[in-house]
Amino acid sequence: MTDSVALPDGTIETDAVVVGAGPVGLFQVFQLGLQEIRSHVVDSLPRPGGQPVELYPDKPIYDIPGIPVCTGQELADALLQQIAPFAATFHLGQTVAGLERQPDGRLRVWTSRGQKFLTRTLFIAAGVGAFEPRTLKIEGLGRYHGTQVLHRAGELSLQPSHHLVIVGGGEDAVQAALHFAEPGAQRAASVTLVHRRDVFQAVPEALARMRALCDSGHLQLAIGQVIGIDEQDGRLTGLTLAGADDITRALPADHVLVLQGLSPRLGPIAEWGLDMQRKLLVVDTEKFSTALPGVFAVGDINTYPGKRKLILCGFHECTLAAFAAAALLQPGAERVPLQYTSTSPRLHRLLGVQPPTID
């Protein structure tokens, strides 16, 4: 397995870059590893797992072969365990911003954080696009993004004098409210959870804890829509809320944590000159390659006759793409031999497992 090389300017020279760390992207890492191709993985989210982890981590999935039922989080955990022998490098919290083909046929790729790659193959497993937080569309609020307005709880740094407003009605918003409002947790002067209606999507145990915190006064619940902001001396000081009772209220706010879910955005991929149909990448069904040599597309991002947007179909696509990449990276090889993980000593060595003993 060829190791990556860091060039003097920080560019990573490698054989494969995978765009997307969802289930299909993770399985692509596995299939590439079986071909002794080491991967660098880029994803816009702060952790691997993609849509199943971010949008439905606790919901059951019933159509993964050989697994009667698992949650999105359990599937991601199992895939991460499966790819562990191949030591993929993850570059999280960033998107692939550009792609240029070099005269020698390699691909120059760079991310929104300035990380650069020089790779021989690129695998786009970006699902329906890079997931980005849904923002509050309030005039003037944008200038506080990244400072006082944040979209991930881990970015918050609270002081006891701070007033925190959390906006959202899903599991992540409820869990954040519990984290910051429960006695003994990282506390602020006040914690207020804002949602447009008094209906929250979270597990019953979390909802019961939320209601108990409201009853004890540790958590404030505000039902309505944020319609404006208050500022003083260049700082955000509060939000204006239009309540369900048509009464307008002012909420003090030193920090606003917006947790309204994620929305996909295709982003720069649409500008790379690849053949597309309805914002999907056209691929062949032999190699799952695009029209640009060395660039493959697997999972929900691609399209072809008979395409079905299922995780298990993406797994199949990853397998054929990995074989095609291996042939591309081994000039002169007529075909890449098919070996089985049940019997191949080479694959056992790569996976770090002991060969089976036969009595």
Q: Which two tokens stand for residue 55?
A: 């949008």
d(CA 85, CA 157): 36
On whether both 117 and 205 belong to a single domain, the answer is no
| Torsion angles phi and psi, residue 268, rounded to 5 | -60, -20
- % residues pLDDT > 70 (the chain): 94
Q: Which two tokens stand for residue 45?
A: 């989210």
d(CA 259, CA 196): 13
The reply to whether 301 falls in a domain is yes
On whether both 309 and 331 belong to a single domain, the answer is yes
* Amino acid letter, 128: V
User: What number of H helices and E strands is found in the chain?
Assistant: 7, 22
pLDDT at 130 over 70: no
On whether both 122 and 270 belong to a single domain, the answer is yes
Average pLDDT value over all residues in the chain: 89
> For residue 25, what are the CA distances in angstroms to 15, 48, 94, 282, 298?
16, 9, 15, 18, 8
270 in Cβ contact with 99 (< 8 Å)? no
Lowest mean pLDDT among 82-86, 88-92, 290-294, 354-358: 354-358
On whether both 210 and 269 belong to a single domain, the answer is no
pLDDT at 265: 67
296 in Cβ contact with 121 (< 8 Å)? yes
Count Cβ atoms below 10 Å from residue 115 Cβ, excluding itself: 17
pLDDT at 1 over 60: no
The CA-based angle 337-343-348, given to 5 degrees, is 90
The reply to whether 127 falls in a domain is yes
The reply to whether 234 falls in a domain is yes
d(CA 328, CA 69): 37
The reply to whether 113 falls in a domain is yes
Q: Could you report the per-residue pLDDT of 275-330, keeping only the tens digit for each?
A: 889 889 999 999 999 999 999 999 999 999 999 999 999 999 999 999 999 999 98
Q: Could you report the per-residue pLDDT of 148-204, keeping only the tens digit for each?
A: 998 877 778 888 889 999 999 988 899 889 988 888 766 788 999 999 999 998 889
Which CATH number characterizes residue 27's domain?
3.50.50.60
The reply to whether 358 falls in a domain is no
On whether both 88 and 121 belong to a single domain, the answer is yes
Tell me which residue has tokens 């447009």: 196
228 in Cβ contact with 138 (< 8 Å)? yes
Torsion of CA 194, 196, 201, 205, to 10 degrees: 40
36 in Cβ contact with 85 (< 8 Å)? no
Last residue of a domain, one of 235, 260, 285: 260
Q: Residue 36 is part of which domain span?
A: 5-132+263-351
52 in Cβ contact with 101 (< 8 Å)? no
d(CA 100, CA 98): 7
Q: Could you report the per-residue pLDDT of 198-251, keeping only the tens digit for each?
A: 999 888 999 999 999 999 999 999 999 999 999 999 999 999 999 877 789 999
The CA-based angle 69-72-76, given to 5 degrees, is 105
Number of domains composing the chain: 2
The reply to whether 359 falls in a domain is no
On whether both 20 and 117 belong to a single domain, the answer is yes
The CA-based angle 43-123-306, given to 5 degrees, is 110
The reply to whether 357 falls in a domain is no
On whether both 254 and 307 belong to a single domain, the answer is no
CA 273 to chain centre: 24
User: Residue range 8-25: average pLDDT?
Assistant: 95
Structure confidence at residue 333 as a pLDDT band (50, 70, 90): low
User: Residue range 10-36: average pLDDT?
Assistant: 96
Structure confidence at residue 127 as a pLDDT band (50, 70, 90): confident
Tell me which residue has tokens 């790659």: 117
